Amino acid sequence: MAELLRASRLTLAYDGAEVVRDLELAVPRGRITAVVGANGSGKSTLLRALARLLRPRAGAVLLDGEALDRLATKEVAKRLGILPQSPIAPDGIVVEDLVARGRYPHQRLFRQWSARDEAAIEGALAATATADLRDRALDELSGGQRQRSWIAMTLAQETEVLLLDEPTTFLDLAHQVEVLDLLAELVEGHGRTVVMVLHDLNQACRYADHLVALRAGQVHAAGAPAEIIDAELVEEVFGIAARVIDDPVTGTPLCLPLGGRHRPAVETSRPLAGATR
Ligand code: ADP
């Protein structure tokens, strides 16, 4: 698979603390890459570096072979769209204005607004089912409606690459599936490249062509979900015992965590008198 983005010997740090160390990563063009890992493993930090929101302490992020920090800001904004985990909007902004902000990188001095901008905004509102909310203030919406509005803003940018940090947060199950299906459609039907941090390993296995499992700021494993996900990896990356079976719907790996109550019994203990199950 041809790669579009690459992290090469990437080290990322906040002040003194290194969070990502010497990381190597390739993002295939025209595919969905999902980044998974335990809390604090460096997923958001990595995504921010891929979007050039965080400057590497060492190493580089390459877009089509060119170091991101050599590209003009507008060029980066036109090619990479990011939805961070907790985006901040101006107070009182309404949905349509938020989505329209996605078009800023496309504006030029003497060509302020075009039919193409209009179409991109309408398309993004329609795709995320937020057209009915266009006049509503963002801060008066439910968490799910707000999240869909942010996704619309990201889509309106019409960038080749979409970087999304937990895009399904705050969404109920139906909207989660809708958003993931929409991203899959953008990849399959429109040749976009998606990189997303996902909390839910099983959704990641269903939707990702390429899965990257982070552990303590390094790539523990990367590849097609079926190639890399097994009980051993789940234990190493998430620190939990699990069974991994084939998802009966998609055939992709399905991880079933074994909590204390569900660990296979090593010995059968006599039930307590009067205990009910
Ligand atoms: P994940 O997304 O996998 O949960 P993060 O990339 O958010 O992990 O965080 C990785 C580590 O970096 C954590 O230890 C976190 O506390 C630290 N970290 C994240 N953001 C900042 C920040 N702005 N300043 C200082 N440390 C941070």
Q: What is the pLDDT of residue 265?
A: 60
Q: What DSSP designation does 261 have?
A: G
Nearest CA, atom 16, ligand 1? 40
Give the atom of ligand 1 at the shortest distance from the alpha carbon of 46. Answer: 6
Q: Which residues, given as ranges, of the chain have pLDDT below 50? A: 267-268, 274-277
- Tell how far the Cα of 88 is from the centroid of ligand 1, in angstroms: 18
| Torsion, CA 267, CA 270, CA 276, CA 277, rounded to 10 | 20
Q: What is the pLDDT of residue 216?
A: 95
Q: What is the pLDDT of residue 124?
A: 93
For ligand 1, mutation pick of 39, 44, 199 (most atoms within 8 Å of CB) = 44
Q: What is the pLDDT of residue 113?
A: 75
- Tell how far the Cα of 83 is from the centroid of ligand 1, in angstroms: 16
Protein residues whose CB sits closer than 6 Å to any atom of ligand 1: 14, 19, 37, 39-45
For ligand 1, mutation pick of 10, 11, 14 (most atoms within 8 Å of CB) = 14
Q: What is the pLDDT of residue 1?
A: 65
Q: Are 61 and 6 in contact (CB under 8 A)?
A: yes
Q: What is the pLDDT of residue 254?
A: 97
Q: What's the number of CA atoms in the CB half-sphere (13 Å) around residue 258? A: 13
Q: What is the pLDDT of residue 83?
A: 92
Q: What is the pLDDT of residue 20?
A: 97
- In sequence order, which residues have a C-beta less than 8 Å from that of residue 55 and are 6 or more positions away? 49, 69
Q: How far is CA 274 from the centre of its chain?
A: 49
Q: How far is CA 36 from the centre of its chain?
A: 9
Q: Residue 122 and residue 100: Cα distance in Å, rounded?
A: 9
80 pairs with which residues across the strands?
161
Give the atom of ligand 1 at the shortest distance from the alpha carbon of 20. Answer: 10
Q: Which of 15, 73, 8 is nearest to 46 (CA)?
A: 8
pLDDT tens digits, one per residue of 51-94: 999 999 999 999 999 999 999 988 898 899 999 888 899 899 99
Rounded alpha-carbon distances, angstroms, from residue 193 to 40, 50, 126, 184, 187: 25, 13, 20, 10, 6
Structure tokens at 246: 């084939």
Q: Residue 18 and residue 155: Cα distance in Å, rounded?
A: 32
pTM of structure? 0.89
Q: Helix H segments across 36-191?
A: 43-50, 73-79, 95-101, 115-127, 143-156, 173-190
Give the atom of ligand 1 at the shortest distance from the alpha carbon of 17. Answer: 26
Edge-to-edge strands, sheet with 218-223? 80-83, 161-165, 193-197, 32-37, 210-215, 218-223
